[in-house]
Copies of this chain bind each other. A is one copy, B any other.
């Protein structure tokens, strides 16, 4: 919001400056007027490009990083369960996840079952689907 206000302030300022320039050019002669108009067109064309670029990339970032955390504890997923879910979604087996997190396979099975209950799914492939839909994964 702050940035939008700032950009529009700059736009208005630029417009005023260009008005002043055009008035001076009327005194000095009409030949340079066309260049000034062309300049205005080019400047505002690129301002349009820039504004849109800013907006789009900002939206993308917010979708990737902000939505995560709220939904995770809205589902009641604990820290450890979420870790397991991430490894699971990367394609690891229970045994592999156990190695990665330095615990037994039994522990992983418990966590995985709890994750399924909380996500309301029956299989790990469904868990991956659901997690992606909810945008609670740090990748993809």
Contacts and interface: CB of A to CB of B under 8 A. Distances in A.
SS of A interface (majority): helix
Interface residues of A, number: 42
A48 interface: yes
A22 B37 contact: yes
Interface stretch (A62-70, A76-84, A118-126): A118-126
Contacts of A45: 11, 44-45, 47-48
Contact of A52 (B30, B40, B48): B48
Interface of A: 11, 15, 18-19, 22, 26, 30, 33-34, 37-38, 40-53, 56, 88-93, 121, 123-126, 128-130, 132, 140
